[in-house]
Amino acid sequence: MTVGTGIGSDPADAIDRLVRSCSFVIQSYKPDHIIYFCSPESKDLVSHIEEGCRELWGLTPPQSETCIIEDPNDFARCFEVIYGVCVLFQEFEIVIDASSGTRSMTMAASIASFLTRSQVTHVTGEKKGGLVIPGTERMKEMTLFAAYDRLRFHQAIDQFNNNHFGSSLELLSGISTIPERDIYYALFHGYYSWDKLNYAEAFRYLQHADDLTEGVSRNRDFLQNLLELEAKGENGFSRKEQCRFRQEKYLYILVDLLNNARRRIEGERYDDAFARLYRVVELLSQVLLLSWNIDDIEGKIHFTELRKILHDKRDVSLYARRADRKGVIRIGLRSKFMLLEDLGMQGAGEYYMHLEPFLRVRNDSILAHGLSPVHGDEAREMWREVFTITRKACTGMPFDLERLLVQSAYPHLETPMR
């Protein structure tokens, strides 16, 4: 409860009106505890208010404490004290009364109510000369949750646009007064799942989400195509057809990882970006191998099949030594690019040699095998190089890489002003 010094030209009458108003609030709510926010000039009125509880309403005043605000016209100081106390008592049910006090005190109390989601109230009634007529008092309660929810809603959209999808969901979960909240909640959940590479779950949310921007529709088409390709790769097509569908699916995932890495770079999470870019490089080699129907992800490299498409007998002998007893060949990233070169893809070895310095940085990073942090310039340069080489390597494929990048880029949402 904020306590002023009363309103009116007659000091005695002003104090009587203040006492009646404040004690009316107490008898209306019958609180277990009261904290009075007073100025040095108004602190002595607390005893008058308690006496008014007894004489006017037959009520024993509850336990109380008094907080002194040295300058009641200093808004910053008023807010600091009132908000600080409200935060300390947030675990309890709080009502903030702002029936009296300076303009700075009552404004600070209202904003503290807004930020702590506490109810704010003041005494009103029939008035004469701007003063409430005794005997007509009534409580007027104001719930500022709607304004608070609107603030959280704007914050949630900002978090989404900054790729903090978990935070955006958390902010939305505490909102109850905004009708469009569920529309955004489904949308945010879709991108939260997608950012974690859970494509089926992301599509489940985005399938029926509103197209708040044109990008949402493009993203939905991208996910739908990706999931359809996955289904085709598992159905009863020929091996060659299955490899063709898997090649396109892997390319979709590769492009999505490029966008994922770019989001990590924008968020200054450079080690995470490098880890994704390393996977892009490996996935690129696996996409390219599928041009020879070699599936190094969902299948295995078999020497008996490889020898049929290797033309140099020296290469055949080299890979024969790498095969295990079952004829399966397991090779690392560098060797995948060398295999592409041996199969006749000119420049594949150079692609790897060009990217090798970046791959060493990743291997030495703290999230891989070393203790060195990754710097922003390194991450941005690696992204550009990986994209450039991917575009060159996939030139002969019937896929528009840049179109897929646009189609899978997350949208930027405008904050609705209504």
C-alpha distance across the termini of the chain, in Å: 33
Closest to 2 measured CA to CA, from 132, 130, 109, 93: 109
Q: What is the pLDDT of residues 162-182, one digit of tens each?
A: 999 999 999 998 888 888 898
Look at residue 119 in the predicted model and tell me its pLDDT.
87
Alpha-carbon Rg for the chain in angstroms: 34
Token readout for 39 is 């100025």
Say which residues have a Cβ less than 8 Å from residue 173's Cβ, sequence separation at least 6: 185
182 C-beta neighbours (distance < 10 Å), count:
12
Q: How far is CA 215 from the centre of its chain?
A: 18
d(CA 254, CA 119): 52
Q: Is 128 exposed, middle or buried (0-12, 13-18, 19+ CB in 10 A)?
A: exposed
Tell me which residue of 219, 182, 195 sits closest to 411, measured CA to CA: 219
The DSSP bridge partners found for residue 35 are 65
Looking at residue 130, its pLDDT comes to 67
Alpha-carbon separation of residue 337 from 78, 115, 322 (angstroms): 68, 58, 16
SS3 179: coil
pLDDT tens-place string over residues 178-236? 888 989 999 999 999 999 999 999 999 999 888 888 899 999 999 999 999 888 866 66
Tokens of 236: 């009863």
CA distances (Å), origin 412, targets 102, 160, 163, 214, 361: 44, 8, 10, 10, 32
For the chain, which residues score pLDDT lower than 50? none
Kindly give the residue spans of alpha helices, DSSP state H, lying in 133-180: 145-161, 165-173
**pLDDT attached to residue 233:** 64
Strands 301-302 and 328-329 turn out to be: antiparallel
- Which string of DSSP letters, residue by residue, matches 86-110? HHHTTTS--EEE-SSS-HHHHHHHH
Residue 353 pLDDT: 94
* Rounded CA separation 91/116 (Å): 10
